[in-house]
Chains A and B, each alone.
Chain A
Amino acid sequence: MGAFIVRRLLWLPFLLLIVSLVTFALGTYGPGDPVEVRLGTRANPQTVARLRRQMGLERPFFVQWGDYVRKALKGDFGESLTYRGQTVGGLVAKKIWVSARLTFAAMFIGIGLGIPLGLLAALKQGTWLDGALVSFALFFNATPVFITAPFLIILFALKLHLLPTSGWDGLFSTKIIMPALVMGLPGIAGLARMTRASAMEVLGQDYIRTARAKGLSEFTIQVRHVLRNALIPVITILGLSLAGLVEGAFITETIFGIPGIGRLAVESIFHRDYPVIMALTLIPACALVMAVLISDVLYAVVDPRIRYT
């Protein structure tokens, strides 16, 4: 166990280095000249040459990459091409807090509804309720946010006038309900599916029969014995579900006009603002790698039968 964590931690910096290399290579070799973006196509060749030297663009690729990584570690991701004079780090820092809160709300909804619904479906196995929950999960598990969002907007905002159509006012306002629900739906569905499958397996175990035979109350059995054991495999997908949330955030934030990193990323794509795109690829990638590591470790901590070697 200890050795496993150490090995994963040792591999982590290499993984992140490769991730940054891929990002940097795509950003450097892919698009047009950053100097041209700044000065336009009809700039004086001497000015172009001077700026190239200033930006260090004539150095070898690996030197530039090393430089980028060293600066990135200190939080310096260069300057935005569209927002003149603003550092990428500053731009991202302002928005990341918004996205973090939205993601938290979506995850809260996903866990808070998905796990109980999955447990309910497992307990009511074979009834219409189980069937309905399974179909619901199958549908929403794979439905992208741009499919569910228009329906919710038309229904809740335009027909029923219950919720505002868009905007952002922090965690405690009605504006967050729709985007968090839209982002959370695949999570609810995925967790419900996983919890149901896992709880059904636990329900067939001998120790559940023993617990019943001992005369424990149904509530104690379900919470203490079924739920706690059923949640073990569910933990492994929590880390990966963060990836789904990041993807959902891109489109959700754009649809609902939320000033987070997702909308910044979409804007940067349209403006071909590569330094911002690179930073916004690198930061979530790091977060994701960490989340997967944490859920792997947590898995081993919760289930003493798991032994990583």
Chain B
Amino acid sequence: MAVEQVAGRVQLRYRSRGLLRNAVRRLIKKPKAVVAIAALLLLYGSGIFANLLAPYPYTEQDLHAVRQGPSAEHWLGTDTAGRDVLSRLMYSMRANLILTVTSMATGTLVIGITLGLVAGYYRKWADTLISRLGEVFLAFPGILLMILMAATIKPRVLELTRAFEDSTGITGLVRWGLADYLVIFFALAAVSWVGMMRLVRGQILYLKEAQYADSARAMGASTARIIFVHLLPNALPPVIVSISMGLGAIAGAEVALSWLGIGIQPPVPSLGNLIRGGQDISLLRNHPHLILSPVIVVGTLIFAWNLLGDALNDVLNPRAR
């Protein structure tokens, strides 16, 4: 009897601790979450392992076989220069993945969460400063700010990269497109932190008033302990949902930038320039496979992130459950 009671209590404690573990268990039971995760693994997996999986190098031209439809040799056909569309798509996914993850990690997670915590917890002038700065960034329609940044910063970044190559003797950075990556990364990060900052700030403002935060303070817990042990974990559920949806939005923004010609530069393929390349009316009429494959890939990618976000919301948001 006594043993059973203790065992029950232990189990109870174990269960109450694992909010996230619990959420994951509920998540994988949801069909839409499984579909979304499978799609993301497939798309990003093909990007990560592009150099192993891609049937051709992305620059290899076969001028005897241009604008061909899907066939056994070229599963998704060839483009106007006879390059394999499938291989180009895979390498595009890799660029998209690198940019999406780095921008999310720095812009949204580090900058957004830190500033949100500071603004929400300390209030006063720090809050005013951070919130007003956020309003300035929100005032620009996102893509315009990204375009302006990408267009104006690029020459400087290119200069800096060249200078870095000259002074260190490392070569190939410019050719490899490091400057492109840096510029797009800055532009994406600059636009994506505001939403997260506002979300975290609101959460902290609300949670700070909770009784357990007061009790912790009364027991003499340090500010860092209150923030990182008590407030942040409780603020996490909406943050996780927003990260999932945000990854979809950033992935889409990268495609938009390269579509506009200010993202990754050819000959390195990107989803945006693949779509742009197939957009000509005569190509649309006679060779729709050129645009349909990148468009379907991008559509699936963005939808998968949002579907996952929706499933996460069902699981993590007590009101939606």
User: Among residues 236 to 279 in chain A, which have CB atoms less than 8 Å away from a CB atom of chain B?
Assistant: 243, 246-247, 250-251, 255, 265-266, 269-270, 272, 274, 277-278
Query: Hey, what's the 0/1 contact readout for A272-309 against B, CB within 8 Å counting as 1?
Result: 10100110110011001100100000000000000000
A250 with B139: in contact, given A142-B248, A143-B302, A143-B303 (CB under 8 Å)?
no
Given contacts A142-B302, A146-B255, A150-B291, contact A288 B151 (CB under 8 A): no
B143 touches A19 (CB 8 A): no
Contact in complex: A15, B136 (CB < 8 Å): yes
Are A285 and B139 within 8 A (Cβ)? yes
**Nearest-neighbor residue (CB-CB) of A26 within chain B:** B152
Residue B189 is within 8 A (CB to CB) of chain A in the complex = no
* Assembly CA distance A284 to B132 (angstroms): 19
The answer, yes or no, to whether B259 is at the interface (CB within 8 Å) is yes
Judging by beta carbons under 8 Å apart, are B148 and A277 in contact? yes
Assembled-state Cα–Cα distance A280/B143 (Å): 12
CB contacts (< 8 Å) of B149 on chain A: these are 26
Query: How far in angstroms is the closest Cβ of chain A from B134?
Result: 11
Please tell me if A2 contacts chain B, counting CB pairs below 8 Å: no
By a CB distance below 8 angstroms, the chain A residues around B66 are: none
Categorize the interface residue count of chain B.
35 or more
Assess whether B148 is in contact with A281, with CB atoms less than 8 Å apart. Answer: yes
Task: Using known A-B contacts A19-B140, A31-B155, A281-B148, determine if residue A269 contacts B262 with beta carbons closer than 8 Å.
Answer: yes
A23 touches B (CB below 8 Å):
yes
Residue contact B245 to A142, C-beta cutoff 8 Å: yes
Residues of chain A within 8 A of B285, CB atoms compared: 158
Q: Please tell me if the beta carbons of A147 and B147 are within 8 angstroms of each other in the complex.
A: no
CB distance from A32 to the nearest CB of B (A): 6
Report A-chain residues with C-beta under 8 Å of the C-beta of B281. Answer: 153, 165-166
CB of B144 closer than 8 Å to a CB of A: yes
Contacts of B117 in A (CB 8 A): none
| Secondary structure class of chain A's binding surface, majority of residues | helix
A246 to B141, CA, bound (A): 7
B256 and A144 contact, CB distance less than 8 A: yes
CA distance A19 to B140 in the complex (A): 8
Q: Which of B81-89, B103-111, B292-300 contacts A (4 or more CB under 8 A)?
A: B292-300
- A-B contacts counted at CB < 8 A amount to 129
CB distance from A260 to the nearest CB of B (A): 14
A62 contacts partner chain B, Cβ-Cβ < 8 Å? no
Question: What is the 8 Å Cβ interface bit string for chain B, positions 254-270, against chain A (1 contact, 0 not)?
Answer: 01100111100000000
Q: Could you say which of A23, A138, A144 has the most chain B C-beta atoms within 10 Å of its C-beta?
A: A144
Q: Which chain A positions have C-beta within 8 A of B275? A: 146, 150
Smallest CB gap from B262: residue in A: A269
Q: Is the CB of B284 within 8 A of A153?
A: yes
Tell me the complex Cα distance, A29–B284, Å. 41
**CB distance B260 to A289 under 8 Å?**
no
Give the complex CA separation of A139 and B143 in angstroms. 20
Measured CB to CB, the residues of B under 8 A from A are 132, 135-136, 138-145, 147-149, 151-156, 245, 248-249, 252, 255-256, 259-262, 275, 278-279, 281, 284-285, 288, 291-292, 295, 298-299, 302-303, 305-307, 310
Contact surface of A with B, Cβ cutoff 8 Å: 11, 15-16, 18-19, 22-23, 26-27, 29-32, 138-139, 141-144, 146-147, 150-151, 153-154, 158, 165-166, 243, 246-247, 250-251, 255, 265-266, 269-270, 272, 274, 277-278, 280-281, 284-285, 288-289, 292
